[in-house]
Structure formats: C-alpha cells, structure tokens
A and B are shown apart, each in its own frame.
Chain A
Amino acid sequence: MCLDKTELMMLGVGVVLATSGLVAPQWLVFLLTMALAKSLVVQGVVMQMRAGLVTFGQGLYFCIGGYAVGMSGHFLTISDLPTLLLIGVASAVALAMILGLLMTRYREIFFAMLSLAFSMILYGMLVKSPGLGSTDGFNVIAWTLFGWSPATGQAPLALFVIIIAVSAVLAVLLHRYGHSSAGAMCEAIRENEVRVEYLGQSPRWVLYMNYVAAAGVSALGGGFMALAAGHIDPEMAYWITSGEFVFIALLGGTSHVAAPILAAILFAVVRTYAIELVPHSWQMILGITLLAIIVFLPKGLWSLLSGQARRAKAVEAKA
C-alpha cells in the first residue's frame, strides 16, 4: 500500500507538528491538543456532509466517546489509553448501528432535527444522573500507555504526540475513503439519490455505513478530549456543542481531509483570544463569521487556500 502525495504531505506535517511540540509553550500544546480532538469530531460531521446530510447532533457520539473513557477509568479503573479509546469507539459504533437504522430513513431537515433530538436525549439522561455528576460531570483519571505512566508534566506533550499520530493516520484513511467507490457513492447520493438507486445501489446501505463510521471517528475525538481536558460533562451532548462542530466543518469546507484540522485550530486560536477580549460578543462573532462563510465562501476556507474560489469566480465570469 503506497501513499500518494497528499497522504505523504499530511504525515510529514504531522511529524513536523509533533516535533514542534517540544519547543512550544505548554498552553499552545494544550490548545492544539484540544483543537485536534475537536477536529476528529468534525471529521465525522464532514463525512456526513459529503453525503449531503448535516447533523446537528454529532455531540451525541462526542459525548459517548468522552463518557466511555471517563466511566471506564472511574468505575472499571482502566487507564490504558488505547483500551479506553477503543471502548469509546466501540460504544459509539454499537449505538450508531442501532440509531443508524432509523436515521438513514431521513434526509435534510428531518435528519438534522432527529440527530439533534438524540443528542439532547443523552444530555437529558446525563443531567439527571447524580451517579455521573449531573451537570458537573466528573474528572477523568490519568492515562497510561501499555503500562508506561508519563511523568508529571510530560503527559500533555505525550498526549499531543499521540493525538497527532492518530489524526494523521485517520486522515490518510479518510482520504482513501473519500476517494473510494463508497466515498464517491456518498457524494452521488448527495447529488441525486434516485439515480443512485437506478445504478443498482442502496443509498440507505451506503449512508448507514457512513453514519456508523462517522460515529466511531467522532467518538475518538470525544475520548481524546476527555483525556486532554481531564474532565467530562453533559455539555458535550448539548446541541450548541454540536453546532460548533457544524461551524468548524463549514469553516474548513468538505473538499480536503486536512480542512477540518486547520479549521479546528483556527477556531481554537480565535476563540481563545475572543473569549478573553470580548467574552459577551464571542457568539456574535461566530454568527457573523458563519454568515460571511455562507455568503462569500460557501466551500469553506479551504477553497481560498486551494484557489478554488478564484477559479470558480473565473468560470462564473466567463459564463
């Protein structure tokens, strides 16, 4: 299995980023780790957007990934990082396999609203669970890696390197998936579902696989977030959190697998400064930016970088 240009580039950038972590200040490493965790969730959102579905409830799987990690540590005293993440992904996939049967019957607004509903169901359940800390949530225990326990102060950097590695590998896989027959079929469904049926395909089956896979990917992000932040709470399943993931997805665009990563980092950086400088106007900035993206850059920021926006304007001018 040889890697193409894009994949090699992403792995390369991953290596550079990881090594830069050695010299970067603590707060930046922390910020980037959280941003990368979020970017994993956004990858799940983007996977569904490519199939034409906007989910307002990806927080469901984000939260499951996080709570699986937290609960396994708290109640089962598991601290092995890979195991924790695996439990998170497996739980999300299991739930998605059930919910997916219902969700894949819907499109457009109904899909968006139903996904929102399910994430809010989880939110409601968690808030009313005193055993899980209700609205406060609870803390996540320190992680280990195959028995190795990072020294105090080393953990954040170690997690940073791990999440970069995982994100890079996932990016390569998602790149493959995006260019595969199944990935193309997702786009075809977005474009013209009836025609896809007439090509001898089952749109429901393709969307189902996509939905389940996206759930697993987002749960990975939730798991990492729990480990990085050291804390989980029901807010992870609140619909506004899901809205944030949609925002980042739109910010980056769906055309390249690295876009969610860049968008998530940009989002994290801007948000940090905005919350400090104008804490009560942060939402307004988000809203205005979202409108601006929709009106001026419907393909997201990535279209700026790849010159697509310029080329699109040129085609429009000619026509």
Chain B
Amino acid sequence: MNYILETRALYKEFGAVSAAKDVNVSISKGEVVGVIGSNGAGKTTFINMVTGYLKPSRGEILFNGQSIIGRTPRAITRAGMARSFQVAQLFPELTVLDNLLIALAGAESPFPSLLRPLRNEGRIARADTILGEFSILSWRDSKVTAVPQGVRKLIDIAMALIGDPQMLLLDEPTSGVSAEEKTQLMDTVMQVVSRHQVTVLFVEHDMDVVRRYVSRILAFYSGEVLADGPPQSVLDNARVQELVTGGQRAHKGAKA
C-alpha cells in the first residue's frame, strides 16, 4: 500500500515529558484527515516532527516511501509537504501580495534570482488568483500588520498552497478567529484546498468544524493516538469522549 505519509513507532521526549508515544499513522493520497486532542496532547509536536522542525527521539517518518528523518523543513517543503501554523507565520512589514510572491518565488527555485525582479506578471497573476480563491484580494496591497486575524490565517495557508504541495498540514487553521467566523473560514479553506488536489491533515479543536470536512479522525491524548478511523466511530469511542471531547466542553477556547 502506498502511503503519502507514514510514521512508525514515533517517539519524542523532552526530558521527562513524553510528547509522542508510539505514534503510528498512515495517510493515503487524497485523504482529508482531522486531528483532535486537548492541549498538550502532542498534535503540534507531531506536525513539527513530520515537517522536520523537531527531531524525533526514535521512530521512522516516511514521505512517499522515503525516510525524511533528519531532513530540514526546507528539504521537506521542497519534497512536497507544506504547512500552516497555529500563529500565522507571515512577513509583517511586507504587503500581502509580497508575502505570496515570496512564497511563490521560494517554491520555484532553491536559489532565488539575484537580478531578475520578484514582481513579474506571471507571479502576480498567480498570486492574485489564489488571493481571489480565498476571497482576500481586497487586502492585496495592505501591510500584513494592518490585516485582521482571520485574513492572516488565510494568507498563511495561501502561502503554503501556492507552491503546489502534494500534502498540506494545517495547524489549527481557525485558531484566534471568533466563533462566528470559524465555520466560514474553514469552508473557504476546504473549498480552495479541494480544488488543488492536495492531501490534507488539519488540527482542530471545534468538533463541528472537524465533522464537516473529514473522512477520518486521529484523536491524540498525552502523546498517544487514542483512536484512528471514520469520524463517527472515533467520536463515539468511550475513551475519546472521556479524555478528548468530553473534557473539551469544560476547557473551551484554550490553545494546544
């Protein structure tokens, strides 16, 4: 079976704290997978390890069958795995358009041109297209610092998407956004993403949001994968209800 992303017996220890315990995950091309879990469950650690920002203590990570342990975020991005961040990682003093153009130029070549301009017609058209898909074209010429949180999250995702990745990891795409806006934001994101034919894995706290889009859920708790399967079976799982979703109602709004 050819999986696009596979982790085998993945462990991560920070001293005495275990952020990942025997994580075994296999994701097939084209899947849309939701990752749930309370704060500190290990969701962001998982994404950080898979994208090369953290080195696992032991275990194996395979992307398209190739081991990516020890590879840098740069190499993994170039291999076709892109991500967005819990706190949008943008270039604050530059315009929204420039943010996307830089992302595009970055994806095009590992060695950016020293003389040829960043802003050329082709790139601008591409950036405008994707801004349009996310319905944020009106913010095109604003500095990122002047842009509201929801739009920032979209820019973050757009920057990951503009490089045509095979797989997209979204770390809490709706975090920091008001409850009313969450669904609309996620709708926009998933619409755009589905048009681009990427495998998606996203972390999310809101169960309603998760249920709308995924064909599969991974439930994390204390570094372990509690349950892995179709949404209903995972959400009906007693341990998941006890440790993840049940507790979530009491601790709503906290961040991982």
Binding site for B on A (CB under 8 A): 173, 176-177, 179-185, 187-188, 191-192, 194-202, 205-206, 209, 315, 319
Whether the Cβ atoms of B77 and A191 lie closer than 8 Å is no
Sample of 5 A–B contacts (CB below 8 Å): A187-B94, A191-B94, A197-B72, A199-B106, A319-B146
- Contact for A179 among B93, B103, B106, B118, CB less than 8 A: B118
Whether the Cβ atoms of A195 and B90 lie closer than 8 Å is yes
Whether the Cβ atoms of B106 and A180 lie closer than 8 Å is no
Residues of chain A with a CB closer than 8 A to B51's CB? 198
The B80-135 residues at the A interface (CB cut-off 8 A) are 82-83, 89-94, 98, 101-103, 105-107, 110-119
Q: Considering the chains assembled together, what is the distance between the CA atoms of A201 and B113 in angstroms?
A: 12
Q: What's the nearest-Cβ distance from chain B to residue A303, in Å?
A: 13
Whether the Cβ atoms of B98 and A184 lie closer than 8 Å is yes
B211 on interface, CB distance cutoff 8 Å: no
Residues of chain A with a CB closer than 8 A to B92's CB? 191-192
Q: What's the nearest-Cβ distance from chain A to residue B92, in Å?
A: 6
Whether the Cβ atoms of B113 and A197 lie closer than 8 Å is no
B73 on interface, CB distance cutoff 8 Å: yes
B78 on interface, CB distance cutoff 8 Å: yes
Residues of chain A with a CB closer than 8 A to B111's CB? 205
Whether the Cβ atoms of A195 and B74 lie closer than 8 Å is no
Q: Considering the chains assembled together, what is the distance between the CA atoms of A205 and B109 in angstroms?
A: 13
Whether the Cβ atoms of B74 and A197 lie closer than 8 Å is yes
Whether the Cβ atoms of A200 and B91 lie closer than 8 Å is no
Whether the Cβ atoms of A198 and B73 lie closer than 8 Å is yes
Q: Considering the chains assembled together, what is the distance between the CA atoms of A133 and B78 in angstroms?
A: 54
Residues of chain B with a CB closer than 8 A to A206's CB? 112
Q: Considering the chains assembled together, what is the distance between the CA atoms of A269 and B103 in angstroms?
A: 43
Residues of chain B with a CB closer than 8 A to A183's CB? 114, 118
Q: Which 4 pairs between the two chains have the least Cβ-Cβ distance? A: A199-B106, A181-B112, A191-B91, A200-B77
B173 on interface, CB distance cutoff 8 Å: no
Task: Please judge, given known A-B contacts A188-B91, A194-B89, A199-B163, whether A177 and B114 are in contact too, CB under 8 Å.
Answer: yes
Whether the Cβ atoms of B118 and A199 lie closer than 8 Å is no
Task: Please judge, given known A-B contacts A188-B91, A192-B90, A315-B146, whether A202 and B112 are in contact too, CB under 8 Å.
Answer: no
The number of residues on chain B lying at the interface, defined by a beta carbon within 8 Å of a beta carbon of chain A, is 36
B159 on interface, CB distance cutoff 8 Å: yes
Q: What's the nearest-Cβ distance from chain B to residue A3, in Å?
A: 13
Task: Please judge, given known A-B contacts A179-B119, A200-B74, whether A184 and B105 are in contact too, CB under 8 Å.
Answer: yes
Whether the Cβ atoms of B114 and A180 lie closer than 8 Å is yes
Residues of chain B with a CB closer than 8 A to A187's CB? 91, 93-94
- Contact string, B148-163, partner A, CB cutoff 8 A, digits 1/0? 0000000000011001
Whether the Cβ atoms of A198 and B77 lie closer than 8 Å is yes
Whether the Cβ atoms of A200 and B163 lie closer than 8 Å is yes
Task: Please judge, given known A-B contacts A188-B102, A192-B90, whether A199 and B116 are in contact too, CB under 8 Å.
Answer: no
Q: Considering the chains assembled together, what is the distance between the CA atoms of A217 and B74 in angstroms?
A: 30
- Kindly list 4 other residue pairs between chains A and B, CB separation below 8 angstroms, not including A181-B116, A199-B159: A180-B112, A188-B102, A198-B82, A200-B78
Whether the Cβ atoms of B119 and A182 lie closer than 8 Å is no
- Contact for A192 among B89, B110, B116, CB less than 8 A: B89
- Contact for B113 among A180, A192, A200, CB less than 8 A: A180
- Contact for A176 among B53, B82, B90, B115, CB less than 8 A: B115
Residues of chain B with a CB closer than 8 A to A195's CB? 89-91, 159
Q: What's the nearest-Cβ distance from chain B to residue A30, in Å?
A: 34
Q: Considering the chains assembled together, what is the distance between the CA atoms of A153 and B107 in angstroms?
A: 56
- Contact for B102 among A177, A184, A205, CB less than 8 A: A184
Q: Considering the chains assembled together, what is the distance between the CA atoms of A198 and B117 in angstroms?
A: 22
Residues of chain A with a CB closer than 8 A to B114's CB? 177, 180, 182-183, 209
Task: Please judge, given known A-B contacts A180-B112, A180-B115, A184-B102, whether A201 and B91 are in contact too, CB under 8 Å.
Answer: no
Q: Considering the chains assembled together, what is the distance between the CA atoms of A205 and B119 in angstroms?
A: 22
Residues of chain B with a CB closer than 8 A to A199's CB? 77, 102-103, 106-107, 159, 163
Q: Considering the chains assembled together, what is the distance between the CA atoms of A173 and B90 in angstroms?
A: 28
Whether the Cβ atoms of A181 and B118 lie closer than 8 Å is yes
Q: Considering the chains assembled together, what is the distance between the CA atoms of A180 and B113 in angstroms?
A: 6
- Contact for B117 among A173, A179, A192, A200, CB less than 8 A: A179
- Contact for B106 among A173, A185, A315, CB less than 8 A: A185
Q: Considering the chains assembled together, what is the distance between the CA atoms of A177 and B118 in angstroms?
A: 10
A1's closest neighbor in chain B, by CB?
B115
Q: What's the nearest-Cβ distance from chain B to residue A50, in Å?
A: 11
Whether the Cβ atoms of B116 and A191 lie closer than 8 Å is no
Q: Considering the chains assembled together, what is the distance between the CA atoms of A198 and B118 in angstroms?
A: 18
Residues of chain B with a CB closer than 8 A to A181's CB? 102, 105, 112-113, 116-118
Q: What's the nearest-Cβ distance from chain A to residue B234, in Å?
A: 29
Q: What's the nearest-Cβ distance from chain A to residue B42, in Å?
A: 20
Residues of chain B with a CB closer than 8 A to A179's CB? 117-119
A210's closest neighbor in chain B, by CB?
B114
The B190-232 residues at the A interface (CB cut-off 8 A) are none
Whether the Cβ atoms of B91 and A185 lie closer than 8 Å is no
